[in-house]
Amino acid sequence: MTRKKRNVFELLSLKEKIKYVKKTRQVGVLREELNRARILVDQLDEAIAATEDEQGEQMAGTLRANGWYRDQMMVQKETVSNRKEFLSTEVANEEKELIQIRLKQDRSRDRAREVERQEAIERESRQDRILNDRGRRRD
């Protein structure tokens, strides 16, 4: 019975380990996406700064076109900024979940070791009883 119990805890530990590996990959992908979003926000900031109106005389069409491009980039920047915030939140949540999975895995592994230790103690006490019974019979 205790051997089965130990196997259950070992299997739970392995299950949590698999979950942890999968979650780690997911967090890696989220971090990559977050990094891309940060880079894109920086690029959009630079592009917006580059489309500032020049001082002096300009044609109305040029002013209108620069304004339109700047507005489009501002919309894109807002969208990417929102995505960046969402990804930051997701990464934080996933990292918390990773910690919980690791703790659960550690508890399962510790419980399996405890069961194994109890089995060893029981085996040893059984062997001691057997040896004591044999010693008494000879006397």
pTM: 0.68
Q: Tens digit of pLDDT per residue, the chain (139 long)?
A: 466 766 888 888 888 889 999 999 999 999 999 999 999 999 999 988 887 766 767 777 777 888 888 899 999 999 999 999 999 999 999 999 999 999 998 988 888 888 889 888 988 998 888 888 777 766 5
Q: Which fold has domain 2-138?
A: Helix Hairpins (1.10.287)
Segments making up each domain of the chain, as ranges: 2-138
For tokens 């209108």, name the residue.
64
| ∠ Cα 133 138 139 (to 5°) | 100
What letter does residue 78 receive in the DSSP assignment? Answer: H
Residue whose structure tokens are 């008494």? 136
